[in-house]
Amino acid sequence: MLLIRPIESSDYESLYSCAIESGHGFTSLPVDQTLLERRIERARQAFRKEVVEQPGDEGYLFVMEDTGTGEIAGVSGIEAAVGLTESFWHYRLGKVVHHSEKHNIYNALETLTLCNDYTGVSELCTLFLREPYRRSLNGRTLSRFRMLFLAQFKERFSDWVIAEMRGVSDDNGDSPFWQWLQQHFFSMDFPKADYLSGVGDKTFIAELMPRFPIYTSLLSEQARSVIGKVHDNTRPAIRLLESEGFRFRGFVDIFDAGPTVEAEVCNLRSVRHSRLVPVKLVETVETEGLEPHIVCNTQLQNFRAAQVYCQPETNELAITTEQAQHLKLSSGDEVRLVAL
């Protein structure tokens, strides 16, 4: 069984392996022991915080564990509210018009403007599934269970949620967009800038990033061509989020120009279609004729989620005693579920 649960201190080695395997451009998983240990402790504090009146600087981090082997298959996270303790930067795509009525000239030009418009919104982040587990519905489960967590603990999150998509870069970690910025404004390569941002050293952004809108027509052809585009490995992730209702509204990452997508939490497909049903314990569950669902308990510190099979629109979830033990459930407990 692949079980999703809050991260623990003992998961550090696995998280470090995920950070290495995730490669360049994965800012939220820096290959840095101190930062990863701090990320784990911050998550543990968030899960222990019993009362939250409004979303703050809580960061919830989960792992997907293979209960048969104890191996960590992947990691996934949610930030309650970004930009409250340090600036959360984006470029906003816009337009300016240069018009001369006298000379009958009209030019609508695209611009990139540095902004902090997403300050205070929640963020889906740190989604990474290790290669041996990229099969079946595992990736979909590891991403979508977060919608159930948002629905169950809505008081802990903003009404809006975003997700930053990894932009285009090559195998060496070089980004065509950053190469243009580096040439004109910076003296560091993309991996270094990406790493500094990941470890929280973002002062160089305000110090060196151009403060005025940039006309995209002044960028190199290679840099212009990747604005709002995702890395090949990220295409499945953005398709899944789009199916949930996320949309691109013109905000891109300041390093690789990857798109940031947004949605209102109450309009997310999995939030709208999720529901609470009671649990019934049975000896066995015959999966023939049943459909895969994501299920989670309603606990915070002992939160558990997994993929199960049940009848569509069932009013009662039948699971085995073993499944119930993994999910921290007893007969009659309520669970939240949604069809995969």
User: Which CATH number is 335's domain given?
Assistant: 2.40.40.20
- Residue 103 is assigned to a structural domain of this protein: no
d(CA 340, CA 335): 15
- Residue 105 is assigned to a structural domain of this protein: no
Listed residue (182, 178, 144) closest to 163, CA to CA: 144
**Structural domain boundaries, residue 185:** 2-91+115-273
d(CA 271, CA 78): 15
Among 245, 273, 301, the domain boundary falls at 273
Q: Does 185 lie in the same domain as 55?
A: yes
Q: Does 325 lie in the same domain as 252?
A: no
Backbone angles phi, psi at 331, to 5 degrees: -55, 130
Q: Does 299 lie in the same domain as 208?
A: no
CB atoms under 10 Å from CB of 275, counted, come to 14
Percent of the chain whose predicted confidence (pLDDT) is above 70: 95
d(CA 10, CA 242): 34
CA 273 to chain centre: 20
pLDDT recorded at residue 25: 58
- Residue 27 is assigned to a structural domain of this protein: yes
Find the mean pLDDT for residues 307-320. 90
Among 242, 273, 304, the domain boundary falls at 273
Q: Does 324 lie in the same domain as 257?
A: no
How would residue 29 be classed by pLDDT, with cut points 50, 70 and 90?
confident
Q: Does 337 lie in the same domain as 266?
A: no
Q: Could you tell me where the DSSP H helices lie in 57-202?
A: 138-152, 176-184, 190-198
Listed residue (14, 26, 31) closest to 74, CA to CA: 14
Overall domain count for the chain: 2
Active site residue 231: yes
Q: What is the pTM of this model?
A: 0.90
- Residue 185 is assigned to a structural domain of this protein: yes
Burial of 206 (0-12, 13-18, 19+ CB in 10 A): exposed
pLDDT recorded at residue 24: 64
- Residue 100 is assigned to a structural domain of this protein: no
Among 236, 252, 273, the domain boundary falls at 273
SS3 191: helix
Q: Does 178 lie in the same domain as 249?
A: yes
Q: Does 171 lie in the same domain as 31?
A: yes
Q: Per the residue annotation, which of 231, 273, 293, 326 is the catalytic one?
A: 231
Q: Does 120 lie in the same domain as 221?
A: yes
63 vs 10, 309, 335, 338, 339, CA distance in Å? 11, 21, 19, 20, 21
Percent of the chain whose predicted confidence (pLDDT) is above 90: 67
Q: Does 42 lie in the same domain as 161?
A: yes
Residue burial 209-230, b: 16+ Cβ < 10 Å; e: rest: eeeebbebeebeeebbebbbbb
Q: Does 179 lie in the same domain as 164?
A: yes
- Residue 102 is assigned to a structural domain of this protein: no
d(CA 340, CA 327): 18
Compute the mean pLDDT over every residue in the chain, rounded to the nearest whole number. 91
Q: Does 325 lie in the same domain as 194?
A: no
- Residue 109 is assigned to a structural domain of this protein: no
Residues 132-181: tens digit of each pLDDT: 999 989 999 999 999 999 999 999 999 999 999 989 988 777 889 988 88
- Residue 99 is assigned to a structural domain of this protein: no
Q: Does 245 lie in the same domain as 150?
A: yes
